[in-house]
Amino acid sequence: MKNTLTIFLLLLICTAQTCSSQDQPKPVSSEYESCCGTQAVEFSYDKKRIYVPNVFTPNKDGVNDYFLPFVNDIVTDIWGFTIYSAVGDTILYQKPYCNSKMAIADYGWDGLRPDGSRYKGLFRYKMRVDDSEARKHIVGGQACAIICGSESEIFKTKAGCYYPIQAGKAGTVDKSIASAEKDCF
């Protein structure tokens, strides 16, 4: 009887542990932990307006494939648009000069490292923004490159994510525009 009771208790404990482990939420990829909602996406200096998305999906589907700033017509030039690794020790992309009249593919970052491999997760950016009155401001922050797949499912419901497609007029974010990410998540 004692052995039967011991076996029953062990079986009950093992079953309870199995069930509770199934109820645990899936862990979020560590590369995506700091994505969305942690940094400003709109910057204003006098009449200058700059929108910088905080996520993009460089999967070459034609939607949100490039990371770049969106500016109003007061901004004339962008100098030293640079993308760094999350810790800031590696330059991933650099465009010495660009302006909003250039094609997106000519100055937006496509998510590739200099060696051609795909970058995933948090990164930092920095640039100098000049206006028509020769005023200069430094804009910087962090954003995330999302690699489409099972780990990117978290972005279906993650709050505070703003994509390149959500660029409104005049260097602002238009929150009424959906991410349009049908193929990614």
| Residue 2 pLDDT class (50, 70, 90 cuts) | low
pLDDT of residue 31: 79
Q: Could you tell me which of 165, 163, 142 has the C-alpha nearest to residue 152?
A: 163
Domain ranges of the chain: 30-166
CA angle, 141 then 66 then 128, to 5°? 40
pLDDT in tens, 98-144: 988 899 999 999 999 999 999 999 999 999 999 988 999 999 999 99
- What digits encode the pLDDT tens for the residues 23-69? 444 445 677 888 998 788 999 998 999 999 999 999 999 999 999 99
Rg of the chain over CA atoms, in angstroms? 22
Does 2.30.30.140 match the CATH number of domain 30-166? no
Q: How would you classify residue 182: left for phi > 0, otherwise alpha for psi between -120 and 50, otherwise beta?
A: alpha
